[in-house]
Amino acid sequence: MPYLAYVAPADANLAIMLKVFPALVVLLITAAVCGRLAIMVMQPRVLGEMVAGVLLGPTLFGWLFPDAQAALFPPEVRPVLYVLSTIGLTLYMFLVGAGLDHSARTPNELRKAAVLATSGIVPSMLLGFGTGLLLWSTLSRPDVPPFQFALFVGGALSLTAFPMLARILYERGLENSPIGRLTLLAASVDDALAWCILAVLSAMHLGTGASGALPTIGLTVGFAIVMLTVVRPMLRPMGRTVARTGRFSATHVYIVVLIPLAAGWATDWIGVYAVFGGFIAGLAMPRDAEFRRVLHGRMMEIVSTLLLPTFFTFSGLNTQLGGIAGGTMLLAFAVILLAGFSGKYFGCSLAMRGIGFSWRESYAVGALMNARGLMILIFINIGLAQGMITSELFAMLVLVAVLTTAGALPLYKLALPDRLERDAKAEPAAEPPVTVRSNS
């Protein structure tokens, strides 16, 4: 005890470490317990981890034990959690980008996927945009114009949790079924478009009007072009080597860690956000299926086990559900939730029915496409960090993320119970199968 009393005040680095480590221990234990409980009630683990972050925030832990929460997450610890969560998000989006496989084999499949992707983003975007205009005076910051606010709400509601969707389909053996291939391709397109919208919004918000945002937008486009046309070909030999040997050498590990972090730094410097750099770096990775499998196996566990729970907790510390109490706020939340749910669910269901699938298969896809999971949390955290949205809207969209994610699997099983799901698996595909790897 005398040793600790002497060392802690004298060494600032040790002092902050002695505060960060207990916070990490508590948040990891909470995430593990809530993740396990989520699995027990047939929900994805990530949903439990999302809920764990909210529980550690001011809504429950801070309300029941305010002194304990203040001691566990003091102001000097939060910047460390922010850095860890940003690294985690950058690497996670890198793995998402690296794992995308859009190789639909026929024009007919591409046409159907385009229809589903359009139905997944346009109705949600329009309903979200209209909702944003309706609620601008109630929920927006005064320095955010109605158009930007409405476009942000529409972009957030148009997201689909592509990694979670891939995981569900892969675990149920549907990734190469007709509905699996179409759903994965459409969800990846929807998410890519939503991230493009957020990149433009970030540039507009951080610039001096639309003209001031043009340099940021131009630099972002230029960065993406360089990554995809210059860096990507340079990485192909690495992809062939890893695909042949089935393992990463030490040099390869350095490369696949340094590239997304450097890309994240570059996009942060440009003024959009580190996760965009991570995602584009992932798109620049080799497309070999074996390379993606080895990369996922090498990196995903540490990212999803340590760094993502840190992000969920950091989000939870910013989530004050008490701020949406009262008739006006509850009504605003109900309108946002209804717009988000109906746009995805009915838009995608009707589109699937229109391209020849049964009503049950169509509603099953609508349920899966309606899950927003981690993707919307990343989206809205960027908005909050850059001052595009208020803490009240942030809390509402956190709830939308939790509720739509929680409803995805039950609605899917209601539409497509096990006996019918087996028929969907056994249904012969008209086109050759497409391999899609999960990144959740």
Digit-coded pLDDT (tens) for 269-281: 887 778 888 888 9
Residues of the chain with pLDDT > 70, as a percent, come to 88
| pLDDT surpassing 90 at residue 201 | no
| pLDDT surpassing 50 at residue 345 | yes
Residue 207 pLDDT grade (very low, low, confident, very high; cuts 50, 70, 90): low
Q: Which residues of 109-144 are buried (b: 16+ CB within 10 A; e: fewer)?
A: beebbebbbbbbbbbbbbbbbebbbbbbeebbeeeb
Q: Is the pTM of this model over 0.85?
A: no
Residue 430 pLDDT grade (very low, low, confident, very high; cuts 50, 70, 90): very low
| Residue 439 amino acid letter | N
* Range 364-375 average pLDDT: 86
Cα(82)–Cα(315) distance, rounded to whole angstroms?
A: 9
128-166 confidence digits (pLDDT tens): 999 999 999 899 888 888 998 999 999 899 888 776 777
- Burial zone of 413 (CB within 10 Å; 0-12 exposed, 13-18 middle, 19+ buried): middle
Higher pLDDT, 440 or 379: 379
Amino acid 107: pLDDT: 75
43-56 confidence digits (pLDDT tens): 888 888 888 988 99
| pLDDT surpassing 60 at residue 104 | no
21-46 confidence digits (pLDDT tens): 999 999 999 999 999 998 898 888 88
Q: How far is CA 96 from the centre of its chain?
A: 9
Amino acid 5: pLDDT: 46
Contact status, residue 75 vs residue 244, Cβ threshold 8 Å: no
Cα(135)–Cα(322) distance, rounded to whole angstroms?
A: 19
Cα(78)–Cα(296) distance, rounded to whole angstroms?
A: 29
Per-domain boundaries in the chain: 22-426
* Range 396-408 average pLDDT: 89
- The domain 22-426 is classified under which CATH number: 1.10.10.10, 3.90.1150.10, 1.20.1530.20, 3.40.50.300? 1.20.1530.20
Cα–Cα distance list, 12 to 22, 56, 79, 250, 363 (Å): 16, 26, 15, 33, 56
* Range 341-356 average pLDDT: 91
Amino acid 17: pLDDT: 85
Mean pLDDT (the chain, rounded): 83
Q: Which residue has the tokens 């979200």?
A: 128
Higher pLDDT, 440 or 59: 59
